[in-house]
Structure 1
Amino acid sequence: MRYEHTQVGYVTGGLTLAALPLVYYAFMVEAGHLGVLGYAVLGGFGGIAVLFSSLTVKVTEQELVFFFGPGFWTRRFALDDIIGAEVVRNSALYGWGIRYTHHGWLYNVSGLRAVELTIRGEGHIRIGTNEPEGLKHALEEAMGEPS
């Protein structure tokens, strides 16, 4: 393993968890009990909090791998397919999670900093990280490029 880093999404996880008591209260005030829909909504918010609690990025000898939380939405790219890597700053309007922007796909749990990759056959993707220079350096080193 050449590089591995996990960024915790304190804000995304915290906001999602903070919504749980609000959802509970809303259902209790409206219906006096949670019911099936209430439990489903609470479970959905809890699940989202776990799934998007962190973003782990790994660079091995052959590939770049990244995933959310406990392994949700894993993406893999061969290093041979990565044409370039650039440190970028995302707009605050892009938010967090998985979304498509005019720069390509964005995978992010916190902050505005990212590494934009140009990938053969995929175009551009951005991986949010709180240490973009370290990720870029690890990718360039693994691909045999000077830093």
Structure 2
Amino acid sequence: MAVTVFKLNGQFLHVAEGLARPAGLTAAHWQVLGAVLRMPLPVAGIAREMGITRQAVQRIADILAANGMVEYLPNPAHRRAKLVAPTEQGREAVRRIGPAHAAFADRLCEALGDEWAADVHRLLRELSMTLDALASEEDPA
């Protein structure tokens, strides 16, 4: 399973790079921006949500901040862990990706069939939740 998922991750990253490039983003930039579109999060929260390291998120968030795509806001829950929030420029970059992303998703669902695509999505979410549960059993902290 892991080798197949690693390959699938690479394939999705390749597609994401192609979708993000016209908006001036990388797949990693898009991933971090996407994590904070609904609400600002601290770097550690983005890392947990996306399943990547805090250090990688910090590096990307700093690049996005330097490019005016995100800003750091005070975090009422933690004095030192600032919240990452998208700027209007960051939101606009993600909006520019939207049409091509939707077109690709439609092509993928058409190729798989809508019902099978929904089943795959459900199974992948269940696999992710199961892996989270197993990881929390191993590391209760």
TM-score, normalization by structure 1: 0.22
Structure label with greater radius of gyration: 1
Higher helix share: 2
